[in-house]
Structure 1
Amino acid sequence: MSKRSIRDGNFFERLGREYRMVFLDDESMEEVTSYKLSMGKLYILGSSLFVAIVLITVSIMLLTPLKYYIPGYGNDKARMQTIKLKQTVDSLTDLVSAQQQYEANIKSIIAGEEPKRDTEMLDMRKVKQEDMSSIVPQTKQIKQNAIEVIKQENKKQKK
């Protein structure tokens, strides 16, 4: 067959054309095995092998502990622990800065200077309701006191 006769025909005819692959022993020139193949079968075989290798690799990565070595793929426990540690570091940083300011104020008082009064540190959301009850009466207490006063006045009027 010439090169032209092999290349003749369209793409699909060439995919269907069968070829024979023979394995020979070099010393005895004896045929060990032979296969009838076509380009279409080779394409399907190669594609199937590629898909199988990809599926095996992905399943190994996702179904075994190897997934933890992939950057950005961590477990939820480690992520929550990281968040908790960041919050702890932030609160400790705030505590250290407050202690440093307290120490500076104590030193200035001992030195006889007027301490710096910082009202920005006061956060009304952090002040407990119980501490505020002595300054501002609560509505429940006002209602109870009013009810008790009315009951006492009613008792006095009945007598």
Structure 2
Amino acid sequence: MSRNRLKRKKFFDRLLIKNRLIILNEDTFEEIFSFKLNIMSVFVSLSLGAIFLISITTVLIAFTPLREFIPGYSSSQLKRDATVLALKSDSLSIALKKNEVYIKSIQKVLNGDLEYAKFNKDSILSSAEETAEPIDLSPTQKEKELRERVNNEENTHPVSPKGKPKN
């Protein structure tokens, strides 16, 4: 056998040698507790204990309110409150715009710029609602030229399914 193999075998043999752990009373030398152990069992038990502690800590932090004390995590109540306040502020801004349009139209009537017969609250509020303007998505002349150039290049240099040009 090679020297490295012998060293490995000796190392594993040492791991499995039985040892005795004895706890004695120092004054009377009376044996209080004793264990038969080997190094491998101590290593395995310490590893399992560490894994158990890490998993318990992770579960406690992930599923309890303790996570709020970790920097970077915010409470779920705070998130809910922020969402509710964002919705309220959006609705208040819409109501404010409607009121501004209504007040401006009342000012027109009071100044005499608008006849009273044309003044209707419903028509004013309906005109205050914003409508999304349609967006023109048709391609521009430059985009058309680019598409033609790309098509020409693809036709002159066909590409194989693996992404390499065919020769």
TM-score, length basis structure 1: 0.46
TM-score, length basis structure 2: 0.44
